[in-house]
Structure 1
Amino acid sequence: MHTNRCVRWALALSLTCTAAVAQAATVWVGRFPAGAAGLPEPWRVQQLDERIAPTQYALKTWDGVVAVEAVAERSMALLGRPIDIDLAATPHLCWLWRVDAPLATADMTTEAGDDYAARVYVSFKVAPEALGFGTRAKLALARSIYGDQVPDAALNYVWDNRQPVGTLMANAYTDRTRMIVLRSGAGDAGAWVMERRDVAEDFERAFGALPAQLSGIALASDTDNTGESARAGFAEFRFVSRDEACVAPDSATRRDDQASVGRSDE
């Protein structure tokens, strides 16, 4: 009897510890507070070019989801924050987003069309010895113009208007940023949709086996090149382990959160 009690106690302790580890695996980087007066720290608007009007960001409860609303009117600015994430432990990024509509005239293959109704931007620091002299020189020049917020490498997850879902290509302005199309066209517009991405896998597909550390995350709606208008929402950003589910709030319109997992076969 005593032995059975010990076994049951050990099993209960094991399950409790397992649950605690699973819960601790979630690293929240963008759960926005209801009723806040302004955008929460450490999120800040990052205006890359002061000659261009900045996209406007505000907190909003939208169909029951507390979110950042981005309104772009011929404008561009990121809303970003620094992060320090161990991608070996929590490589999957989950979030909710929505758009009123995709842009009409955007074309991600050209500088003149490099606009998106919504995008999520993750940036990386790369070990200097892994970057060639030419790359380091280009980055130094870019930082002399735009400041230290220019990353060594970045991934952009975008809601495009024409390219097929799964498209992976260099940004029209710089090959230090790689674009990955998660949604395309108006089929999912007008409702919250959940995304889940293996950031570590996406980075390796985009840049190879570079020694890099995830350093920042940003969101944006930008229309400075096309001169269009757009409105998007972003919420519930967190990094999770490979085994943990991404769950949308009950109030949000749910879509299959496996729809964009990995996409390494596309």
Structure 2
Amino acid sequence: MNILQNAYGTGKFSACLLLLFSSLASAQDHEKLMIGHFFAGSLAQWQSKAFKGQTEYRIVDLEGTKALQAVSNDSASGLLKEQRVDLRKTPFMNWRWRIENRLGNINEQEKSGDDYAARVYVVVSGGLAFWRTRALNYVWASTTPKGRIWPNAFAGDRTIMIALRSTGDQTGVWHTEKRNILADLKQQFGEDIQYIDAVAIMTDTDNAQGKATAYYGDIYFSKE
């Protein structure tokens, strides 16, 4: 019996493998900062923020997996989780999302059309200087071309909208995103911003009195 067979026979080889895989898993977990663990059925520490009416958010089973469902009917409310993230350690935000319908012919650069079937955004708090609070909104646009960037119709250049998805993207299927938030903040605000203070999601249809259904998968930050 050779050394490998002997180690396996005594269980030492198996123990070594388990220890190795456990160490690798621990290292990977350490490099992943979970923000929204919807797959686990959890909405812990997520707070509702209403602007007009209530978009309905709930964990559902969808095609064999758990996800966060958002149903908006002429409403604008979101979910926000306050959590400081050090972007120098974990600069990439990762998530999955899908929409079931588009919102039609609206102008998203105007207040009357500032609606999105799905959006995920990060917030940099200004503290007591609330006017310094800034945000990046990654949106699923209805008419704005994919890749377009513009200031929010209500908040101006303190809130920047980025169309990650638009009319050319298929509805009813999952799409996976990864964004370098550290780099995006630098590009849009011209500053090296090390921390964000919150992550939010929102499906809103109040300005154009529309309806939308969207789903959000887990949201997490990673080193790469």
Same fold, judged at TM 0.5 (above):
yes
Is 1:30 matched with 2:14? no
The CA deviation at 1:161 is 1.1
Out of 136, 153, 163, the residue aligned to residue 172 of structure 1 is: 153
SS of residue in 1 equivalent to 2:86: coil
Q: Distance in 2 between matches of 1:189 and 1:159?
A: 10
Match of 1:231 among 207, 213, 217: 213
Q: 2: distance between equivalents of 1:65 and 1:184?
A: 25
Pairwise CA distance, 1:153:
0.3
Give the alignment of 1:1-266 within 5 angstroms. 20-32=26-38, 34=40, 40-47=43-50, 49=51, 52-126=52-126, 139=130, 152-174=133-155, 175-185=157-167, 187-211=169-193, 213-242=195-224
Q: Give, as a single letter, the amino acid of the residue that structure 2 aligns with 1:22.
A: Q
CA deviation map 1:36-60 (0-9, x unaligned): 5xx622012111x3xx211111111
Q: Distance in 2 between matches of 1:33 and 1:17?
A: 24
| SS state at 2:27 partner | helix
Extract unaligned runs of 5+ from structure 1. 1-11, 129-135, 141-150, 243-266
Identify if the C-alpha distance between structure 1 residues 70 and 19 changes in structure 2 by more than 3 Å, giving closer, same or farther: closer
Q: Is the 8 A contact 2:39 2:218 kept in 1?
A: no
Distance 1:23 1:41, change over 3 A: closer
Shift of residue 85 of structure 1?
1.0
Residues 184-209 of structure 1 show CA distances to partners (whole Å, capped at 9, x for unaligned) of: 01532101111111111111111111
CA 1:33–1:161 in 2, change beyond 3 Å: closer, same or farther?
closer
Deviation at 1:117, TM superposition (A): 0.5
Q: Which range is displaced more, 211-220 or 74-83?
A: 211-220
Aligned residue pairs total 206
TM-score (norm 1): 0.71
Q: What is the CA–CA distance in structure 2 between the aligned matches of 1:233 and 1:176, rounded to whole Å?
A: 27
Runs of 4+ that moved beyond 2 A: 12-23, 125-128, 210-213
Match of 2:187, SS?
A: helix
Which protein has the bigger strand share? 2
Give unpaired runs (5+ residues) of structure 2.
1-16
Instruction: Give 1:166 shift.
Output: 1.3
TM-score, normalising length: structure 2: 0.83
**Does structure 1 conserve the Cα–Cα contact (< 8 Å) formed by 2:36 and 2:43?**
no
Post-superposition offset of 1:106: 2.5
Is the Cα contact below 8 Å between 2:152 and 2:161 reproduced in 1?
Answer: yes
RMSD: 2.3
Q: Secondary structure at the match of 2:125?
A: strand
Structure 1 Cα separation of the partners of residues 74 and 35 of structure 2 = 28
CA distance in 2, matches of 1:22, 1:33: 18
